[in-house]
Amino acid sequence: MDIVVLAGGISTERDVSFATGINVMNALRSQGHRVILTDVYLGLELDEGITDPFEMQEELSYKPGAIKDNAPDIEAVKKRRKGGTRGFFGPNVIRLCEKADIVFMGLHGENGENGKVQAALDLCDIKYTGTGYLSSAMAMDKNIAKQLFRNAGVPTPPGGGMTQKKYPEDMGLTYPVVVKPCSGGSSVGVSIVATREEYDKAVDELFKLDPEIIVERYIKGREFGVSVIDGHALPVIEIAPLSGFYDYKNKYTAGSAIETCPAEIDEVTAKKMQWCAETVFRVLDLETYARMDFLLEEDTGEIFCLEANTLPGMTSTSLLPQEAAAEGVSFEDLCEKILEISLKKYE
């Protein structure tokens, strides 16, 4: 097949997206597909005379750098756009996608996971991997997602969203609390705060990133992930950061966390997490694949679902590939499976 891997963009997870995109591109090429990796925002040069761009997959594919310790400077990225074109899609991106058999969504964060790109591709009658625009939007909005979790009986930390500053006590919470963007990912902007001073500083900074913020009770405990493919939960994976919590740096720096899959927990707890993950997949009306993040509280042993990720990372340190490997599925076969399931919805 001829495949475009969409990556990059202008979210704070731009660098992570490229790491996913490169891994997917190499895996699919090894399976005999013709694949072009393109930056969805910067676009690419594509002469009018080129009738088969996939013959030039090496020349046309974007070549990004490595993931840095901190989120990228998005304003600097925007200044690199050629031609002064407006809008999200860079030059020739839609034209290239129209020539592909399917687009593999390697985007993460804003626009990539909030349903906007999916909706645009739907309007252009372009096939793509993963879930649709509406389920993407619901999962990306953590406040909406948390309400749906509770309605379905899936436990999630007490708290909620706010569009103007309120204090934890106004929400029935006590310090420490977690504050995070309502629509962010990769733990960008997430803080654990223990005092009002820390809270004020964190919230003021967060409102620069997102018009809505989530404030929730801090759960001290172990961190886990459960991926779901086509409605089926994979083995539970535990993530144990060597220091701090599972933040941006720990997620994407090799050796910063110890991942164990299957997780060393009792069968009842594992089954409950998998049930919660499959329930979230269903109530958010997700398609193809997703990953749900969990905490297991240290003192009570209670499970809490934090969020659903509709485009899980496919980097060298990502959780989904490790969970698939625990079931004997290689990275190459995982990418093929994602293509196969995604194409079914277009039959």
Q: What is the pLDDT of residues 15-33, one digit of tens each?
A: 989 999 999 999 999 999 9
Q: Are 252 and 315 in contact (CB under 8 A)?
A: yes
pLDDT of residue 70: 72
- Residue 119 pLDDT: 97
- CA-closest candidate to residue 96, choices 213, 194, 2, 221: 2
Residue 89 has pLDDT above 80, yes or no: yes
Domains within the chain, CATH numbers bracketed: 2-128 (3.40.50.20), 139-156+219-329 (3.30.470.20), 159-217 (3.30.1490.20)
Identify whether 64 is preceded by a cis peptide bond (ω within 30 of 0).
no
Average pLDDT over residues 51-57: 94
C-alpha distances (whole Å) from 115 to each of 19, 296, 323 are 21, 30, 25
Residue 285 has pLDDT above 70, yes or no: yes
Q: What percent of the chain has pLDDT over 90?
A: 75
Is the Cβ–Cβ distance between 235 and 326 less than 8 Å? yes
Q: Which residue from 131, 2, 336, 39 is spatially nearest to 121, judged by alpha carbons? A: 131
Q: Residue 293: name the closest of 215, 242, 219, 199 by CA.
A: 219
Beta-bridge mates of residue 39: 7
Query: How high is the pLDDT of residue 254?
Result: 53
What span, in angstroms and rounded, lies between the C-alpha atoms of 101 and 7?
17
In tens, the pLDDT along 166-208 reads 999 999 999 999 999 887 654 567 889 999 999 999 999 898 8
Q: Which pLDDT score, from 0 to 100, does residue 250 have? A: 46
- The pLDDT value given to residue 246: 46
d(Cα 340, Cα 82) in Å, to the nearest integer?
35
Selection from 115, 108, 117, 319 nearest residue 225 by Cα = 319
Question: Distance (Å, rounded) from C-alpha 110 to C-alpha 210?
Answer: 10
Mean pLDDT to the nearest integer, 288-316: 95
Instruction: Identify the pLDDT of residue 190.
Output: 87
Query: Residue 244: its pLDDT value, please?
Result: 56
Q: What is the reported pLDDT for 289?
A: 98
Strand segments (E) across 182-302: 191-193, 213-217, 221-229, 232-233, 237-241, 257-260, 289-297
pTM of the predicted structure, to 2 decimals: 0.89
Helical H segments across the chain, by residue range: 14-30, 57-60, 74-78, 93-99, 116-123, 133-140, 142-151, 196-206, 248-252, 267-283, 319-326, 331-344
For residue 267, pLDDT over 50 is answered with: yes
* Phi, psi for residue 138 in degrees, rounded to 5: -65, -40
